[in-house]
Amino acid sequence: MNLLAKLKHEAKEVGLVTLYFFFCFGVMLTIKQLLLADYRIEVQVVSTAAISALIIAKIVIILDHTPAGNRFDTRHPLWLAVLYKTVVYLALAFIVFFLEKLFHAYRETGLLNLAISEVWEHRNRNLILMKLLSVGLTFLGYHFYAGLDRSLGEGTLRRMVFERPESAQQPTQMPTNEG
């Protein structure tokens, strides 16, 4: 495969997954924005959704190509593989959420131990749970779709969802009464 073909394949693979996560994160952040509007708190929906989608999509694609990401794909039922991947990816998302908060706290305090205690003391369990639940549902939907598509044959499910059925594309002929 030449370089141009590899780039096209990578752009298509990352692009579709990024669009999915961009849509999901956009919906989540729009709901958050609507809930916080009464308190006059601004939320950057588009930029946050775009950056988050790019990061998560690339991580998901990389994890999908690792043994941890595809361990259950061929030996277990689809529901178990989807559940396993969702839990593993969600655990990694939790670590990323924590590291993000830790990074910001470290920039403010300048000391790692002080930053850890700052994050731990000012954690909002409800907010963390809401984020993990939302991201978990997003992962669940992605893994369920990807697993179904893989089971049916790569690209089959996408064609079923986004293209007209072949029977609708071909003109039907009316039977003639010759008697």
**Residue 169: what pLDDT?**
59
Residue the block writes with tokens 């929906």 = 45
3-class DSSP state for residue 83? helix
From the CB of residue 166, how many other CB atoms can be counted at a distance below 10 Å? 8
56-59's contacts with Cβ under 8 Å and 24+ in sequence apart are 56/21, 56/25, 56/93, 56/135, 57/14, 57/17, 57/18, 57/20, 57/21, 58/14, 59/92
Q: pLDDT category, 26, cuts 50, 70, 90?
A: very high
- Return the minimum-mean-pLDDT range out of 27-31, 77-81, 106-110, 171-175: 171-175
Q: Are 105 and 121 in contact (CB under 8 A)?
A: no
3-class DSSP state for residue 49? helix
pTM listed for this prediction: 0.79
Over the stretch 126-149, which tens digit does the pLDDT of each residue have? 887 888 899 999 999 999 999 999
Q: pLDDT category, 85, cuts 50, 70, 90?
A: very high
**Residue 14: what pLDDT?**
87
Residues in contact with 165: Cβ distance below 8 Å, sequence separation at least 6, in sequence order: none
Distances (CA, A) of 93 to 53, 96, 131, 148, 149: 13, 5, 10, 23, 24
**Residue 178: what pLDDT?**
58
**Residue 173: what pLDDT?**
60
Domain edges within the chain: 1-65, 68-155
Q: What is the percent of the chain where pLDDT is above 70? A: 92
**Residue 131: what pLDDT?**
84
**Residue 96: what pLDDT?**
81
